Structure 1
Amino acid sequence: MTTAVKKGNTFFYKGCNYFKQRLVLSVLSGKPVRITDIRSMEDDPGLREFEISLVRLLDKITNGTIVELNETGTALYFQPGLLFGGTVEHECCIQRGLGYYLEALFMLGFFCKQPLNVTLRGVTTNNIDPSVDLIKTSMIQTLKRFVLDDEGLELKIKKRGMLPLGGGEVIFKCPIRSKLRPVQLLDSGMVKRIRGTAYALRVSPAMANRMVEKAKGVLLNFLPDIYISVDQCKGKQSGKSPGFGVHLYAETTQGVIYSSEQVSKVVSNGEEPAIPEDLGTAAAQRLLYEIYLGGVVDSSCQALAILNMALGPKDVSKIVLGPLTEYSIGFLRHIREFFGVTFKIEHFQEEEREGTGAGKVLLTCVGIGYSNISKRTI
C-alpha cells in the first residue's frame, strides 16, 4: 500500500489498488487525485474497461468533473465536480458485477443535490463483487442506521443477468440528507431467523429447489425459522446467460444482517459445471462463517459503515466489527489522508459467554460534521 504524496491540493498515488475508494473519497472531499503507473508493467497496461465505466458513472452524477487520461491509460488525473445526482442510466461493464458500481453510489447518494434515481444494467451476480441481493439486504440496512429518516431508499431488481453476457437491470433510489447521525452500535444480538432467495436463469427451475434443500439441510441444525424463496425469472427478466445462484441472510434480534451467496461458474470458461447441491451447502456454510465473524455489520459493508462514521456529526461514534477485511484497512488509511480522521481501534471484550465467535474490534472516531453543501437547509 503506497501512501499518498500531497502536492498543493492534489493527492498522488501509484498503481490500480483501491481505485474506487480513491475516486469516491476524491468526490466527497473535493480534492483532485492523480494516479500513475496503472498496471504499467503488465502485458495489457492501463485502466481496465470496468474502471473507465466507473469514471463515466461518477462523471454522470457530478457537474464539472475533469478527467484526463494519457494515451496508454496508465495515468489518470481526476478533478471532481459537484455531486448533482438526479436521474441517470448507465450501461455497466460486464467484467464486474453491478455491486461494484452500486457500492460507490451508496457512499455518495445522501450528499447529492437531487435525489438519486439510477438505472444500472449489466451482471447482477458474479464471484468477485457483492451481488444485488446482498446489497439489497445488508448494505441498505447498514445505510439506514446512519439517517433518522430513510424514506425513499430502495433497490429494485428488475432483471437478473449472469456472466458472460449479463442483461440484468436494477434501479437504485436514494434520498438526499443534509447530515448523518452519530451511532453507538455495540450489540449485534442473537440470530433469530434466516431468509434467502434461490434463482435459476435459463436452466431447469429444479436447480433452485435443489440448492434450497441442501442449504436448509445445513441450517436447520441450528435454527428452526428458515425460509428460502425461489425467484422464477422468465423471458427477458432472466438476462442473456444461463446460470443459477443462492443468497442467504440471517437477521438478529438487534436488526443486524449477515449475508452470504454462491453463484454457478461460467461453463464456457472450460471449468467444471457447478452442482446446485454444492452451491447450497457452500452458501449455508459461508453464512455460518459470517455469523461467526460477527460485528454489527456484514464484512462486505464495513467500508460503508466506516465512511459514514467519519462523515458523521462532530460527536463520538462507536461500532463493533468482526475482523477487519483488507479492503476496510485500506479504507481507514484513505479516510485519514482525505479527511484527517483517525480511528481508534481496540480489541472488543464481550461479556463472557460461550460461542461469541471470532475476535471483534471496536472502532471509535469523532466525525467531521460533513454536511450536504447542495441541500438547502430549511
Structure 2
Amino acid sequence: MLQISGDTGGGQLLRSSLSLSLVTGRPFRMTNIRGKRPKPGLMRQHLTCVKAAAQVCDACVDGAELGSVELVFRPGKVMGGDYSFAIGSGGSTTLVLQTLLPALLHAEASSTLRIEGGTHNPMAPPCDFIEHCYLPVLQSMGVKATTTLERHGFMQAGGGVITAEIHPIKKWKKLKLIERGDPVETFGRVLHAHLHRDIAEREIATASHLLGWDASQIDLRYANDSLGPGNTILLGARFANVCEISSGIAQQGRSAEAVATGAAKGLRSYLASSAPVGAHLADQLLLPIALAGGGVFHTLSITDHTRTNIALIEQFLPVKFTVEEIEQGVKQISCG
C-alpha cells in the first residue's frame, strides 16, 4: 500500500491520489490530509470526491468523514454507469469531475455524471474552462467526453449542476503541444446573478481597459437560474491548437475592479508568452500524458502544485517526467 503524506499539498494531492488509485488499482494511505491548511482534514467537497471515487469502483474506505486527517482507500474494479453526486455546498463540481474522468475513461462501459454544487468557484476551474480548454486537448488524445452546464452555481449557495457523458477510451494518443497555432479570437464574458448590474459594468470597464479591448468584446450574461448571488468574469484567447481562459470570481470584501484586474492580468501574462499551455492547464495535463505513456508540452511556469503532482504520478505509474527551460518564461514538460 502506498504511503502518502498530505502535509505538502492540499485537496489537489488527495484528488490526484484518488484518480491514480482508481486507474491503477493500487491502494493508498494518506496521512496529515491538508496538514498545512488553516482547517486541516477533509472538507465537504473533498469528502464528495472520496465518496464518488469509492462509488464508481466499490472501494473499501476508512476515514471518509468530515475533518478526517487520515484516509485509507482500497479500490475495486471501475464500473461505467449513471452516477449522480451532490456536494451539499458550493464546493466545486468540476474538481469532482476531474477526479473521476480518468478512471471512467478506462471502464468497460460508458458513463453519465450529474454533479451538483458550485460551477464557478475560487481555486477551481470554471466549467467554461473544462469545456473550452481542458476537454479539447484530451479529445485530441483520443478521449470521447463532453460536459454540459445545466444550472449555474456560485458560492455560498451552490445548487449548480453539470452533467457529463464519458465513453471508454480505445487508445490514448500521445500529446505534443508545443505551439499555439494561428490566433482565432479573444473573448470575454461576465456571468452575473442576483447582484447590482453596476458590479458587472465596473468589471467590464476595468478588464477592457487593461487588455486594450473595446468594452463590447466582453458580454454580460445573466445567470439568474443560480440559487444564490454570484459573479464571474471569464477572459479568453483561442488559437488553432489551444484555448486559454483566465477567470475572476467575485467574493465578499473584494471589489469588482480587483476581480477584473486579476483575470485581465492573468490573460495578459499568458499572451505575453509564446507557451501554449497555461499554468493551470499544465497541472491538469500531467495525468493524461502519463496515462498515454508519454507526451510533451510547453508551459509558462512550473508551480509547486505541478512539482507535487509529478512526484505523485511517478509513485503510481512507471513513467518519468523531465522539466527543461526552452527559453525565458517557457518550460517544456515531457513524460516517457
TM-score for the superposition, normalised by structure 2: 0.88
Amino acid at match of 2:2: F
Amino acid at match of 1:365: C
Per-residue Cα deviation, 1:251-300 (whole angstroms, up to 9, x for no partner): 12x3211110111113xxxxx3532x443343222211233355332321
- Provide the residue aligned with 1:250 in structure 2: 237
Instruction: Map residues 307-346 of structure 1 onto 2, 5 A cutoff.
Output: 307-313=287-293, 317-346=295-324
Amino acid at match of 2:255: A
Q: How many residues align?
A: 331
Question: 1:96, 1:129 within 8 Å by CA — same for their partners in 2?
Answer: no
Distance in 1, matches of 2:314 and 2:163, equals: 32
Distance 1:331 1:42, change over 3 A: closer
Question: 2:190, 2:232 within 8 Å by CA — same for their partners in 1?
Answer: yes
- Provide the residue aligned with 2:217 in structure 1: 227
- Provide the residue aligned with 1:369 in structure 2: none
Instruction: Map residues 82-231 of structure 1 onto 2, 5 A cutoff.
Output: 82-94=77-89, 96-147=91-142, 150=144, 153-189=145-181, 191-220=183-212, 227-231=217-221
Amino acid at match of 2:56: I
How far apart are residue 40 of structure 1 and its match? 7.3
| Secondary structure in 2 matching 1:295 | coil
Identity of aligned residues (%): 21
Amino acid at match of 1:261: S
What RMSD over aligned residues (CA atoms) do the two structures have, in Å? 2.7
How far apart are residue 128 of structure 1 and its match? 1.6
- Provide the residue aligned with 1:3 in structure 2: none
Indicate the structure with greater helix content. Answer: 2
Distance in 1, matches of 2:148 and 2:28, equals: 33
Distance 1:318 1:233, change over 3 A: closer
Name which of structure 1's ranges 321-330 and 106-115 shifts more when overlaid on structure 2: 106-115
Distance in 2, matches of 1:49 and 1:308, equals: 26
Name which of structure 1's ranges 168-177 and 92-101 shifts more when overlaid on structure 2: 92-101
| Secondary structure in 2 matching 1:84 | coil
Q: Does 1:26 align with 2:6?
A: no
| Secondary structure in 2 matching 1:83 | coil
| Secondary structure in 1 matching 2:308 | helix
Name which of structure 1's ranges 319-328 and 182-191 shifts more when overlaid on structure 2: 182-191
Q: Any gaps of 5 or more consecutive residues in structure 2?
A: none
- Provide the residue aligned with 1:59 in structure 2: 54
Per-residue Cα deviation, 1:151-177 (whole angstroms, up to 9, x for no partner): xx2221111111111121111222221
How far apart are residue 65 of structure 1 and its match? 0.9
| Secondary structure in 2 matching 1:118 | strand
Question: 1:317, 1:364 within 8 Å by CA — same for their partners in 2?
Answer: yes
- Provide the residue aligned with 1:306 in structure 2: 286
| Secondary structure in 2 matching 1:82 | coil
TM-score for the superposition, normalised by structure 1: 0.79
How far apart are residue 79 of structure 1 and its match? 0.6
Per-residue Cα deviation, 1:200-251 (whole angstroms, up to 9, x for no partner): 1112345434433432233236xx89833322223xx122x21212111101
Distance in 1, matches of 2:300 and 2:205, equals: 29
Question: Paired residue for 1:274, among 237, 241, 255?
Answer: 255
Question: Paired residue for 2:44, among 36, 40, 49?
Answer: 49
| Secondary structure in 2 matching 1:25 | helix
Distance 1:108 1:220, change over 3 A: farther
Name which of structure 1's ranges 333-342 and 40-49 shifts more when overlaid on structure 2: 40-49
Distance 1:200 1:361, change over 3 A: same
Question: Paired residue for 2:329, among 359, 372, 375?
Answer: 359
Flag the structure with larger Rg: 1
Question: 2:179, 2:241 within 8 Å by CA — same for their partners in 1?
Answer: no
